[in-house]
Every structure is written in C-alpha cells, then in structure tokens.
Amino acid sequence: MAVAAVLLCTPPAGSYTYQMMYDCEYGNNNTDMVFFVKNVFNQKINTMYDSRVGKYVGFGEYGMKNADHYNSQGWKMFLRRAQVEILCRYNAQLFRRSTLDRKVPPIVKVHQTKPADYGERSMLECRVLGFFPQEVKVSWLRDGEEVTTDVSSTDVMANGDWSFQLHSYLELTLRRGERVTCRVDHGSLRKSLEVDWDTSPLDTKYLKKSVGIIFFFIGFVAAAAGGAYYRWKQRFDFTPLGRQGQTPPCNLSEF
C-alpha cells in the first residue's frame, strides 16, 4: 500500500523541471512503514531520502553532493524522521478506517418479479444493497434447506459512493405455506442475515378470492331455497280451514 504526494514546478518551455515526491509504503499493518522523499530533476532522480537507512542517497555527481548537504542539515533530518509518524502513519490510519477497515451492512429486500398464483412458475429477486466491503455471499433457502438449482446472480456492482450492490434470483413453483428465504453473509454482520419472502399480498389475494367464492355459493343456495319454497307454497293451498266456505252469521231477529 502506498500514499504519495507530489510537489511539481512547471517552468516555461526550454527551462528546467524540478519535482519533489513524498511516498509512504506499508503492508497489511502500519508497523512496516517506509517513507521516501524523491527529488527529481528533468525527469531523472537526483536524491532520495529512505527512512530505512535514515538519510539521503544521491545519484550522480550532483546528486551525491546534494545528499551530503541534506544529511548535514539537522533540522531537515529531524523533520524527515518525524514525517514517518505525522505524514505516513497518521494518513495510513485514516485511509484504513475509511477503506480497508470500513464496514457497512447490506440492506436486503426480497420480492416477486412478476405476478403469479400458487402452483404457478415464478421468480423471486433478492436485492442486496449498500454494503462495503465488496465481498458478499448470497444463498436461497426453501423451508430451511439451501437451494442450488434454478439460482442466478449478477456480479457485484459498484454504486460510485464506496458501496456495492448485488441481485440474486430464484426460479420456482410457488407453494402455499412454504417459507422461502434469502440468506446474506457479509463481513459487517455478526451472523447471517436472513430475510423471508413476504407472502401476505398473495395470501390476501387468495383469501379474497376464496371468500368471494364462499359468498357466491351462499347466495346461490339462499336463492335456490327461496325459489323452492315459493314453488312449494304455490303447489299447496295453506288458507286456514276456518275461512274456507265461511257464510255470514245468521240474524236471530228474523226468527
């Protein structure tokens, strides 16, 4: 790993070019820190400070003279030793925290790509969004058992804001009561993140259809019973017997 800074002086055409480059190099940890200061004249290195030897090294006749001059300056040598800490190690720690050690957990969403009912073929999509670093593993489970067939996935894509996204797909025949899960493993998570496919919209649709069919049959049975009762009533006369052939009462005053 390297962090570099360049001081560049660009003179008019036909003149000379002088460059001073600061270069910090280190491995996986910040203990192996190496600091270079390179002085370049007309695209050729003239002198270089190497923190491993603690002094300047010259190249060519004038380079060696300049190196001896720099090494004789106590304040310059003190500054170069201090820059290993204040320039290299400090910025390396900031860089690691913002890149190598940065961990952002993913946002996981599972949804159906196109409408389909139970018993029909469909596809589920697992969207894994906004995670960092790039390494991630996505798998599918059906009732707790990992699925390896009919599974596809995109490559990990950069969002341009130091985060990534990935989309995984599972093609399946929908079964009522089955639990379908997208499982994500990432360095920012202590344990696997499992998100189930929400079947409530499909269950609600199925329930509404079932309730509609039930009410249709109830209405049909009620209408049929009413019609049968009406025909039965028309077939038989249920007029009270006391009213059949009833004559007006006699007027006793005529006798």
CATH code of 65's domain: 3.10.320.10
Percent of the chain with pLDDT over 90: 51
Last residue of a domain, one of 49, 64, 98: 98
Specify the DSSP class assigned to residue 155. P
| Residue 65 pLDDT | 94
Cα 16 to Cα 18: distance, rounded to the nearest angstrom: 7
Residues 192 and 111 in one domain: yes
Domain total of the chain: 2
Domain end among 65, 98, 131: 98
Angle at 216 between CA 210 and CA 220, to 5 degrees: 150
Residue 62 tokens, joined: 């004038």
Range with lowest mean pLDDT among 62-66, 89-93, 95-99, 156-160: 95-99
In this prediction, residues 207-212 reach a mean pLDDT of 55
- CB-based contacts of 240, cutoff 8 Å, min separation 6: none
| Domain assignment of residue 13, yes or no | yes
- 223 in a structural domain: no
Lowest mean pLDDT of 83-87, 221-225, 246-250, name the range.
246-250
Give alpha helix (H) positions in the chain. 60-71, 74-83, 90-98, 200-235
Taking only the tens place, the pLDDT of each residue in 126-147 is 999 999 999 999 999 999 999 9
pLDDT at residue 174 is higher than 50: yes
- Lowest-confidence range among 7-21, 68-82, 182-196, 214-228? 214-228
d(CA 95, CA 111): 37
- Asked whether residue 72 falls in the same domain as residue 127, the answer is no
In a domain, 42, yes or no: yes
End-to-end CA gap in the chain: 138
Tell me the pLDDT of the chain averaged across its residues: 82
pLDDT for the residue 255: 39
CATH number at residue 142: 2.60.40.10
Range of the domain at 9: 2-98
